[in-house]
Amino acid sequence: MASSSSVVSSSSSSSDKGSGRILLFDPFQSLVDEGFWHRLSSLKLDSLGLDQSPVPLTGFYAPCSHPKVSNRLTLLAESLPSDFKELQFSLERAHGNRNRCPVPGTLYNMNTFESFKALDRDSLLKKEAKKILDDIHSGKVEEDSAVLSRFFIISFADLKKWNFVHWLAFPALVVGPPAMVLNLRPAREVFNQGEAQSLSAALNEWRNSSLTTGVLYFLVSIASNSRATIRQLKDWNACQDDGQKLLFGFYDPSCRLDNPGWPLRNYLAFISLRCQDGKIQFLCYREKRGFADLGLSLVGEAVISSSKDCRDPQCVPKAVGWEPKPKSINLAESMNPERLAVSAADLNLKLMRWRTLPSLDLGTLSSVRCLLLGAGTLGCQVARMLMAWGVRKITLLDSGLVAMSNPVRQSLYTLDDCLDGGSLKAVAAARTLKLIFPAVEAEGVTLSIPMPGHPVPTNEVARVLEDCERLRDLIASHDVTFLLTDTRESRWLPALLCASENKIAITAALGFDSYLVMRHGAGPLYVSDQTNSLSTVDGNGGQRLGCYFCGDVVAPIDSTSNRTLDQQCTVTRPGLAPIASALAVELLVGLLHHPNGIHAPGEIANSIMSSSEQPFGILPHQIRGLLPQYSQVTLIGHASNSCTACSTTVVSEFRRRGMEFILHAIDHPTYLEDLTGLTELIASANSFKLDWDDETDDADI
């Protein structure tokens, strides 16, 4: 760039006569919006994890627009990349406007407060200042003057307490002796009327153009005819005509009349290194109500120079620019408690995804709809486990009332729920879930599940049919059904409906000191679109996994009548329900992450074909545990052609006859045995005789 130009002639004020005084600058101030910290939290949890690599960001500031209030550099939510893809592949600055001029910056976010305190701030400041000096030497500043206002921020985000500590720096190069100001006055006192009018018009046009409104540094040339022209820095050579008055203009965020704003520091370094040493004039551009204000704007005359060392591109410059002290902000109190609860609940899951399970699909977990049949010991535990895994849509179904014996074993009830005859279990459980976690979409449904072996009186037929229809609608509208009731026969209708709807079904059942947790296989599928037959073949071509009833050789019958007190209550070791409930939910999470979903094959612990490539390990079909031996085994059972719940015969008959079939099965349990061939199988087994040879050959002893 050339190095000679005329400057505006003006007389110095009495205080600035002679050799002048050291030019002082009004320090930059920052303002970090709450949205910035929310975006950083999401970015760290969803993308960055423990990565402490520098993150590009964009700050915003504009010319001062108030005589008593300086503008600040502002960080907003859009200052940060929105996601990992944008972080990796897009380093472009966020778009601004006339009130938000974009400035490039860098974020250094530390994982611990100790590492935040241990940062070498002097080295970081020099590193960022070197970037500015390199941009000056390379000519990048002429193309993108905003790099002169480059800034950076160091931070520590405590996402458990929502406390954020940060410290900003605005690196300012020290390239030579301090600049000496000879004159600093309001712009209206420097220009004649013609120059002032032309300059105001040119500045307003510059600010109103979408192409130049965000250009922070510019050149002002005033011809001998008082006509003012605004140009970008790359047009320096066009300003070299003899007789032109030249000023170096910039958007000044400061409101002070005795000092220019901080951005002028690096601008003077640029001018000294790329344009000229010696006496120069600068324009601190400020506004009022969106228009150029020459009464608030300043024109200054200064003498600048740079050292020989700083003209060397390899030079590591001295720099200043840290804000006086770090700042801390806590957003917990200002945040909605429900939003805080959601963030805290998701935190553990996102940390899991950082460290061990990058494929953990939190979106699937939060959107899956779970229906829990039974709101007793198992139902309460399963609901809690589901919420811990991030499941947000839970429906509980039960027909009972909360009894005095329930709260100590069933974690969603308190003594208050037992008073006045007891609250409805499903409703009370859903209410407690919302108290625990307000963001959960919990619903309680009071409904009795019709059961085989429990004949329906004539006056109850309409109600039972209505219950059957409602249960079918609930299962159809949910993605997963947990069978958590305390009798075998109460699981039959849900197992049949899940098989017919091809919905995921998971059963948990307890003995006194044993438990069973299993996932039902897929329901019978149509072999092809052209046929109307069902099959025992799975959708992937293999044999279907069985349901809870596939191992039975008798139909479910009434198991609740004529029982003693110990048989009327679920008598089981207290530790079994949490174990079985946790396994049931873990089984679901593994199934939701398996590429084959409900058609995933069953695996056992010593299987050579175990899903070692699956993030959650093997995916069992059945898990049976014995507490006395503290043992657990995984088993596989395939679908039975004689199953009273999921066989092709039963599902076909249900689809053909509908609720008439259900009523028939409820009133006549042996009907299911006759339909599936179990009656014939039992008769055949009873007729089979073994002939024992009672003679013993002494030679064989």
Rg (CA), the chain: 39
Return all residues near 672 (Cβ < 8 A) that are at least 6 apart.
452, 555, 556, 644, 650, 665, 678
For residues 88 and 577, what is the distance between their CA atoms, to the nearest angstrom? 46
Q: By the 8 A CB rule, do 247 and 195 touch? A: no
569 flagged as catalytic: yes
Report angle CA 554, 556, 623 to the nearest 5 degrees.
90
For residues 7 and 132, what is the distance between their CA atoms, to the nearest angstrom? 27
For residues 356 and 636, what is the distance between their CA atoms, to the nearest angstrom? 28
Which listed residue (547, 569, 643, 646) is catalytic? 569
β pairing state of 514-519 and 622-626: antiparallel
The amino acid at residue 599 is H
Residues pairing with 69 in the sheet: 66
Question: Which is it for the CA torsion 306, 307, 311, 315, positive or negative?
Answer: negative
Residues pairing with 626 in the sheet: 514, 631
For residues 285 and 618, what is the distance between their CA atoms, to the nearest angstrom? 68
Residue whose C-alpha is closest to residue 48's, from 90, 95, 92, 80: 80
Residues pairing with 287 in the sheet: 292
Q: State the CB neighbour count (10 A cutoff) for residue 353.
A: 18
Report angle CA 313, 319, 321 to the nearest 5 degrees.
140
* Structural tokens at position 161: 């307490």
For residues 416 and 423, what is the distance between their CA atoms, to the nearest angstrom? 9
For residues 606 and 591, what is the distance between their CA atoms, to the nearest angstrom? 19
Q: Please list the active-site residues.
A: 569
